């Protein structure tokens, strides 16, 4: 069938300001929109192949961005804004952000440029280069979506020897007056309910999960899904199960459903994993937050309201609040504080390739096959699957951080650079230590664990051919051999880190012959990382 190519919508009047709105800046209340003159100014939004190909983006991640952008552009037009929207298959599309900005400047001759601070250092460099080429000084507005500006975080960090999330989080609680009493003490008499919040499920698995309801894609989303299949067939992942919120209305509904149906059990089971239940009691709000369809304050307020109404316990509400005003704002602060080059750090000198299994889900390690399979299926895995299965495996096996980071950035529907780089390079891979330091910037010690942790927190090991209790032999869980080998390979930096003292002591207890055997097994596994599967025998 002959395809008709589209043309970029042109604007038939002189342009005042060209305001660039990126795919993760869909905030209807953004300051940039308030400043625009709807008669003279033009909003530029762009769909470009380059953003889906480097790194390779999951089909659902690409479709989510494109569908949410199209809905947002439609809403802006309904509000009277003039929008120049470049679709992926526009015939003149240069397929890069910089190319499209240059083209828009050439065709519209704007008198000024404006944008909201991007969440990606690479994009910031690209936008500045466009402005320079056009000889226009841009107006760059801070991203008002966040509760902590880049400057406020830098002030908090100034003069501190260590930047620790817990210190930041308590400071945020007091500063923002969230879950604090009038005397400045924490509500519930504790800042942290982690001890209540790390429970595995019992033998029967999760109970009280709400029924799964699938949001049917509307016409815009359906056309975007078809577009992605047609124009970007090389992208990984499935697109069939797409049901992510793509409008503010849908995001608000998702927030309400989480508060009503899952928040009360969220805290207790936030670290638990279970086969066939990829989402459990998790909020699934990160896509809406990261696209700026939802604001952090409204999420926190809704959770605290549920606590006040007696509909959710303090440990769940505190755990959720910690994610939003603590961890999320903390990693963004670190991202901008550490700046360019952070995502390329490799403090432990990890150099193995990303396992082929991360693209196929083919592995005889049940935990890895399950976690990766769920990512391929929906572009989603919850935080413990990300940290303690796929992240832990990459850390222990010594996979090169840049490859791991690119996989997380592209393969998760909520992947954006300011989130992914600190979470992967800093938290999961412990690769962000500055020269001469044994501690990472983000974490004082690596989140490394053997198969026993996965066995305690999930039912994955029950149907795995490996035994999480064995360290050597054909049935030994690969996480065990890799864990002890990891400690052994990194003896020098870890011995200098007091928080690793217990782990190193345990390493020293392993008989020399057994450690030799463990290391041989680990070497075999590490040598097979780029093979078609992760079979270890
Ligand atoms: Fe994963 Fe090891 Fe458990 Fe198998 S036995 S599921 S490889 S942790």
pLDDT digits (tens, 9 = 90+) for 99-137: 999 999 999 999 999 999 999 999 999 999 999 999 999
Helix 512-527 crosses helix 478-489 at what angle (to 10 degrees)?
A: 110
Edge-to-edge order in the sheet of strand 17-20: 82-86, 42-46, 17-20, 112-116, 138-141
pLDDT at position 10 is: 57
**Atom number, ligand 1, closest to the C-alpha of residue 454:** 8
Q: Report pLDDT for 90.
A: 96
Lowest-confidence pick of 112-121, 207-216, 224-233, 307-316: 207-216
CA distance 153 to 147: 10
Predicted local confidence at residue 527, as pLDDT: 87
Q: Give the CA radius of gyration of the chain.
A: 24
Per-residue pLDDT at 537: 45
Mean of per-residue pLDDT scores for the chain: 94
Answer yes or no: is pLDDT of 1 > 70: no
User: pTM of whole model > 0.85?
Assistant: yes
pLDDT score, position 434: 83
Q: With a cut of 70, say whether residue 11 has pLDDT above it.
A: no
pLDDT of residue 198: 85
Check whether 534 has a pLDDT greater than 80. no
Share of the chain above pLDDT 70, in %: 96
Please work out whether the CB of residue 367 comes within 6 Å of at least one atom of ligand 1: yes
Around 452, how many Cα atoms within 13 Å sit in the side-chain half-sphere? 10
Q: How confident is the model over 302-318, as a mean pLDDT?
A: 97
480 Cα–ligand 1 center, Å: 9
pLDDT(18) > 60: yes
Q: Are 503 and 483 in contact (CB under 8 A)?
A: no
Nearest CA to ligand 1 atom 3: 461
Q: Which residues pair with 138 in a beta bridge?
A: 113
Gap between the Cα atoms of 356 and 370, Å rounded: 15
- Ligand 1 site-directed mutation target among 370, 478, 522, most atoms within 8 Å of CB: 478
Write the pLDDT tens digit of every residue in 381-439: 999 999 999 999 999 999 999 999 999 999 999 999 999 999 999 999 999 988 878 78
Give the residue, by CA position, lying nearest to ligand 1 atom 7. Answer: 365
Which of 363, 365, 397 has most ligand 1 atoms within 8 Å of CB, for mutation?
Answer: 365
| Most ligand 1 atoms within 8 A of CB, residue of 372, 397, 466, 472 to mutate | 466
Nearest-CA neighbor of 490 among 500, 476, 502, 479?
500
Task: Give the residue, 532 or 394, on which the prediction is more confident.
Answer: 394
DSSP 389: I
Mean pLDDT across 269-296? 96
CB under 8 Å to 259, separation ≥6 — which residues?
Answer: 302, 303, 305, 306, 311, 312
Tell me which of 1-15, 208-222, 271-285, 474-488 is least confident.
1-15
366 CB within 6 A, ligand 1 = yes
Residue 6 confidence class, pLDDT cut points 50, 70, 90: low
Per-residue pLDDT tens for 141-156?
999 999 999 999 999 9
Q: Mark out the alpha helices in 85-189 (DSSP H runs).
A: 97-108, 121-133, 150-157, 165-176
Q: pLDDT per residue over 483-507, tens digit each?
A: 999 999 999 989 999 999 999 999 9
Dihedral-angle region of residue 347 (phi above 0 means left; psi in -120 to 50 means alpha; beta otherwise)? alpha
């Amino acid at each position: 069938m002959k395809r008709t190519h589209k043309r970029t919508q042109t604007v038939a009047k002189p342009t005042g300001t060209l305001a660039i709105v990126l795919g993760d800046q869909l905030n209807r209340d953004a300051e940039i929109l308030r400043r625009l003159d709807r008669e003279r100014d033009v909003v530029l939004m762009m769909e470009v192949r380059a953003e889906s190909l480097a790194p390779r983006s999951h089909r659902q991640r690409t479709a989510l961005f494109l569908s949410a952008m199209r809905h947002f552009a439609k809403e802006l037009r309904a509000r009277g804004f003039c929008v120049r929207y470049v679709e992926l298959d526009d015939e003149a599309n240069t397929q890069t952000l910089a190319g499209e900005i240059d083209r828009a400047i050439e065709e519209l001759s704007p008198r000024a440029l404006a944008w909201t601070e991007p969440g990606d250092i690479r994009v910031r460099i690209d936008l500045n280069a466009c402005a320079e080429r056009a000889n226009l000084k841009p107006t760059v507005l801070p991203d008002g979506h966040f509760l902590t500006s880049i400057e406020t975080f830098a002030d908090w960090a100034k003069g501190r020897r260590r930047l620790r999330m817990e210190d930041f989080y308590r400071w945020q609680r007091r500063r923002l007056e969230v879950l604090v009493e009038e005397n400045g003490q924490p509500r519930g008499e504790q800042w942290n309910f982690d001890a209540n919040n790390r429970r595995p499920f019992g033998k029967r698995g999760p109970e009280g999960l709400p029924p799964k309801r699938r949001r049917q894609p509307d016409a815009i989303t359906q056309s975007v899904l078809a577009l992605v299949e047609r124009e970007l067939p090389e992208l990984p992942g499935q697109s069939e199960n797409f049901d992510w919120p793509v409008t503010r209305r849908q995001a608000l509904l998702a927030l309400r459903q989480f508060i009503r149906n899952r928040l009360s059990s969220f805290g207790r089971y936030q670290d638990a994993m279970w086969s066939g239940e990829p989402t459990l009691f998790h909020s699934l709000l990160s896509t809406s937050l990261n696209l700026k369809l939802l604001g952090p304050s409204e999420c926190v307020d809704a959770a605290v309201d549920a606590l006040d109404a007696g509909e959710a316990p303090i440990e769940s509400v505190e755990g959720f609040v910690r994610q939003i005003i603590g961890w999320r704002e903390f990693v963004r602060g670190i991202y901008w504080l550490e700046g360019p080059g952070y995502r390329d750090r490799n403090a432990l000198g990890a150099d193995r390739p990303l396992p082929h299994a991360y693209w196929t889900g083919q592995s005889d390690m049940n935990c890895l096959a399950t976690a990766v399979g769920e990512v391929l299926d929906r572009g989603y895995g919850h935080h413990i699957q990300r940290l303690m299965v796929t992240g832990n495996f990459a850390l222990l096996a010594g996979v090169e951080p840049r490859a791991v980071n690119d996989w997380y950035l592209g393969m998760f529907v909520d992947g954006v650079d300011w989130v992914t780089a600190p979470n992967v390079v800093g938290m999961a891979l412990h690769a962000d230590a500055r020269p001469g330091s044994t501690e990472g910037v983000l974490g004082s010690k690596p989140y490394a664990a053997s198969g026993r942790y996965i066995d305690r927190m999930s039912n994955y090991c029950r149907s795995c051919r490996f035994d999480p209790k064995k360290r050597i032999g054909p049935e030994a869980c690969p996480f065990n051999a890799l864990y002890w080998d990891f400690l052994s390979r990194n003896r020098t930096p870890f011995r200098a880190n007091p928080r690793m003292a217990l782990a190193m002591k345990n390493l020293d207890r392993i008989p020399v012959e057994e450690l030799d055997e463990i290391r041989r097994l680990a070497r075999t596994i590490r040598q097979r990382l780029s093979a078609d599967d992760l079979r270890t025998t």
